[in-house]
Amino acid sequence: MIAIIGGSGLEDPELLKESEEIIIETPFGKHSPIKKGFIEGIEIAILSRHGYKHEYSPSSIPYKANIFALKELGAKAIIATSACGSLREELVPESISFPSQFIDRTTKRDSSYTEFGNVIHEGHSDPFDKKLREILVKKSKEIGIEYSADTTLITIEGPRFSTRAESEYFRKFDFDLINMTTVPEVCLAKELKIPYQVINLITDYDCWKENEEAVTFEIVLERMKNNSEKVKKIILKSLKEIDKEF
């Protein structure tokens, strides 16, 4: 089974065949909503990270329950989608990016399944899955969708957006993108040995760029809507090869 995290237009009832709502009992409580079904004969689980009514803020998402539930369902790969801001002039809003590295600036989240007596020291030198990323990049190129790859993403706590000072600070370290949800998702998937790659939908220039409106939730929603068809095309084009390779 291939898992997709995010939603972003992928909750179209016509997309999944034989779909059903799934509830998994986890040691970490209730997970975000999951629908399971088929796309072109391939079993797919779609997890709506924030909930159908956006009830979970970035800091209150049940990350550990979500990834555990996908593991229990038999996920052999996870494609995540996430809105992000650009910290680079050339990474323009309404384009797509496939990061290969992250910087963690969250402060409140449990990013490990480590428990007392069971310490997990998972290597994170290459946190995202290279093979999965290469497939998604190749299909984007074939479709003709503008993208960037091997970028560095910084995840902040949220739900507030950055101050101008913070945005400029992150730019000085040559970070490329900024979002609120990739950490700890990628860390937890790594511990459970599930290949994971996020597709970042660039919605804005954060708040560093002069003569550009500072990011708002309304801007993010509008540009996510515009980008959702691109992401849907990339994922649908990639599923058969991912199913074959993983």
Which pLDDT tens digits describe the chain residue by residue (246 residues)? 999 998 545 666 567 888 899 999 999 999 999 999 999 999 999 999 999 888 999 999 999 999 999 999 999 999 999 999 999 999 999 899 999 999 999 999 999 999 878 889 999 999 999 999 999 999 999 999 999 999 999 999 989 999 999 999 999 999 999 999 999 999 999 999 999 999 999 989 999 998 777 778 787 777 777 778 889 899 999 999 999 999
pLDDT at 218: 80
**Residues 190-213: pLDDT tens digits?**
999 999 999 999 989 999 998 777
pLDDT at 129: 98
pLDDT at 11: 61
Domains of the chain: 2-245 (3.40.50.1580)
Mean pLDDT of the chain: 92
Taking the model in full, what pTM does it have? 0.94
Question: Annotated catalytic sites, by residue?
Answer: 204, 206
> Could you tell me the two tokens for 190?
């790594």
Residue whose entry in the numeric block shows the structure tokens 């998972």: 122
pLDDT at 12: 62
Residue whose entry in the numeric block shows the structure tokens 């996870």: 78
Reduced 3-state DSSP string for the chain: CEEEECCCCCCCCCCCEEEEEECCCCCCCCCCCEEEEEECCEEEEEECCCCCCCCCCCCCCCHHHHHHHHHHHCCCEEEEEEEEEECCCCCCCCCEEEEEEEEEECCCCCCCCCECCECCCCCCCCCCCHHHHHHHHHHHHHHCCCEEEEEEEEEECCCCCCCHHHHHHHHHCCCCEEECCHHHHHHHHHHCCCCEEEEEEEEECCCCCCCCCCCCHHHHHHHHHHHHHHHHHHHHHHHHHHHHHC
pLDDT at 210: 84
> Could you tell me the two tokens for 10?
């992928």
Q: Give the span between the Cα atoms of 233 and 38, in whole angstroms.
A: 16
Residue 118, C-beta contacts closer than 8 angstroms, at least 6 positions apart = none
